[in-house]
């Protein structure tokens, strides 16, 4: 079966060979638990310490900061948001939680769950450029605002949030700031202080780490209780035996992400730009969204007017070109675009494509050829859309 051309790396990226290789001995040879007071537990300590150092280096964290290994990015998001309730709302009475209309499902659903416990949530509108404007945030903040939860960048549109301006407002108003960094780690250069976050979550699946890995960075001095209670593991922040193989895999992926960051910011960005330019050259009515916004180097959202995105996604899948319309931890891309003011019909003709450091020029050229051919054939056979006014 053909391997295909994989352009859905914002959903999940292939675990790297080094990551899988490094993990294997911790299933077969070093299978103990580090909480055990004997050699089978203690022999894990050097690898665990080295792994934490690699993850801290990727984040730019200080030794005094904390980190919790989680089973997914969604778990890390939920721990961050529920800590806002238990560690901010209950002691202070502040019960107002904010995120955006375009944020990931985990943030929106977790904040809505808190409403059953007496909180008030608000999904903030975004600009036509696809990001939360600082002035919009300032307008919605109240003295009772406890937390803002925000993705640093959107994995489907690629748009990056103006984090400096947003974090300044949160600091001035005493608002806990949670940032999900899943789509910027290994893709952008940033300083931790520039993000200004109290909590940073991320999903390992976008780092070429194994699925079901993730983490939560906790800034020194930020109070965060466990989401999963039952023991003192991970300094009491998450009960259950430390998943050492996953920690090893995540750390290996973190090292590789740092080593390959220049490649992603230059070569992968070049391939993304080539992909966009040649698609528009061959299909002049194709629309590339947010080209004037600050974007991730590996993502693009493109509309193919007159063609339903689900139908195009299916047709490309049959030809082994794999793109995305969202779903899973994402909202549908059409909803994200409509939230940014894009026309309904145009939004529902859009696909998201996301490259990785493994994407090569031949794949991009083949993908362009297949996409252009598929779109042209679908336009010839598609039925016109008739709008009735009765």
Judged against a pLDDT cut of 90, whether residue 3 lies above it is answered with: no
Cβ-count burial 58-68 (b if 16+ within 10 Å, e if not):
bbbbeeebbbb
Task: Give the pLDDT confidence of 202-217 residue by residue, as tens digits.
Answer: 999 999 999 999 999 9
User: Which tokens go with 372?
Assistant: 């252009």
* Beta-bridge mates of residue 369: none
The confidence score (pLDDT) of residue 41 equals 82
Q: What span, in angstroms and rounded, lies between the C-alpha atoms of 132 and 149? A: 12
Instruction: Pick 183 or 39 by higher pLDDT.
Output: 183
Report the mean per-residue pLDDT for the chain: 94
pLDDT tier for residue 388 given thresholds of 50, 70 and 90: very low
pLDDT digit string (tens) for 336-354? Answer: 999 999 999 999 999 999 9
Does the pLDDT value for residue 377 go beyond 80? Answer: yes
218 bridge partner residues: 66, 199
Domains of the chain: 5-12+260-380 (3.90.1150.10), 17-259 (3.40.640.10)
What is the maximal distance between C-alpha atoms in the chain? 78
pLDDT, one tens digit per residue, over 252-281 is 999 999 999 999 999 999 999 999 999 999
| pLDDT tens for each residue of 288-317 | 999 999 999 999 999 999 999 999 999 999
Supply the pLDDT for residue 134: 96
Q: How confident is the model at residue 39 (pLDDT cuts 50, 70, 90)?
A: confident
Per-residue pLDDT band at 382 (split at 50, 70, 90): low
Q: Is the pLDDT of residue 389 over 70?
A: no
**Per-residue pLDDT reduced to its tens digit, 359-373:** 999 999 999 999 999
Each residue of 48-97: pLDDT tens digit? 999 999 999 999 999 999 999 999 999 999 999 999 999 999 999 999 99
pTM of this structure: 0.93
Q: 302-316 burial, b if ≥16 CB within 10 A, otherwise e?
A: bbbeebbbeebbebb
Q: Say if residue 1's pLDDT is above 60.
A: no
Whether residue 386 is predicted with pLDDT greater than 70 in this model: the reply is no
- Tokens (6 digits) for 108: 């929106």
Looking at residues 158-176, what average pLDDT do you find?
Answer: 96
pLDDT at residue 36, as a whole number: 78
* pLDDT for 387 beyond 50: no
CA–CA distance, 374 with 313 (Å, rounded to integer): 10
- Share above pLDDT 90 across residues of the chain, in percent, rounded to a whole number: 89
Residue 34: how many other CB atoms lie within 10 Å? 17
Asked whether residue 144 carries a pLDDT value surpassing 60, the answer given is yes
Contact 242, 69 (CB under 8 A): yes
Q: Are 159 and 129 in contact (CB under 8 A)?
A: yes
- Of 194 and 310, the structure prediction assigns the larger pLDDT to 310
Whether 237 contacts 69, CB under 8 Å: no
Nearest by Cα to 293 from 260, 327, 326, 337:
337
The two structure tokens encoding residue 21: 């290789």
The yes-or-no verdict on residue 385 having pLDDT over 70 is no
pLDDT band at 184 (very low <50, low <70, confident <90, very high): very high
């Amino acid at each position: 079966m053909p391997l295909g051309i994989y352009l859905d790396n914002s959903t999940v990226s292939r675990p790297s060979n080094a990551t899988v290789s490094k993990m294997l001995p911790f299933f077969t040879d070093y299978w103990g638990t580090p909480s055990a007071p004997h050699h089978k537990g203690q022999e894990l300590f050097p690898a665990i310490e080295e792994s934490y150092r690699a993850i801290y280096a990727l984040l730019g964290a200080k030794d005094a900061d904390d980190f919790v290994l989680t089973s997914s990015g969604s778990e890390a998001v939920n721990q961050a948001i529920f800590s806002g309730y238990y560690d901010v709302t209950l002691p202070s009475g502040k019960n107002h939680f904010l995120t955006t209309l375009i944020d990931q499902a985990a943030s929106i659903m977790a904040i809505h769950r808190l409403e059953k416990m007496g909180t008030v949530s608000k999904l903030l509108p975004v600009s036509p450029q696809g990001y939360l404007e600082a002035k919009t945030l300032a307008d919605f903040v109240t003295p009772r605002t406890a937390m803002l939860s925000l993705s640093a960048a959107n994995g489907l549109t690629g748009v990056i949030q103006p984090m400096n301006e947003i974090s300044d407002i949160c600091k001035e108003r005493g608002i806990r700031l949670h940032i999900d960094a899943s789509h910027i780690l290994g893709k952008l250069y940033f300083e931790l202080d520039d993000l200004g976050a109290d909590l940073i979550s991320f999903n390992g699946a976008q780092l070429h780490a194994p699925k079901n890995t993730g983490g939560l960075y906790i800034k020194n001095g930020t109070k965060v209780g466990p989401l999963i209670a039952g023991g003192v593991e991970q300094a009491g922040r998450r009960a259950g035996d430390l998943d050492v193989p996953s920690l090893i895999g995540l750390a290996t992926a973190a090292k590789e992400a740092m080593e390959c960051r220049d490649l992603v910011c230059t070569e992968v960005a070049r391939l993304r730009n080539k992909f966009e330019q040649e698609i528009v050259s061959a299909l002049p009515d194709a629309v590339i969204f947010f080209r004037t916004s600050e974007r991730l180097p590996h993502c693009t959202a493109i509309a193919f007017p007159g063609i339903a995105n689900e139908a195009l996604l299916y047709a490309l899948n049959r030809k082994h070109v794999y793109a995305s319309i969202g779903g899973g931890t994402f909202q549908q891309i059409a909803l994200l675009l409509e939230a940014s003011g894009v026309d309904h019909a145009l939004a529902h003709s859009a696909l998201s494509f996301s490259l990785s450091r493994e994407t090569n020029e031949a794949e991009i050229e083949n993908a362009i050829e297949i996409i252009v051919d598929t779109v042209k054939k679908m336009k010839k056979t598609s039925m016109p859309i008739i709008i009735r006014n009765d």
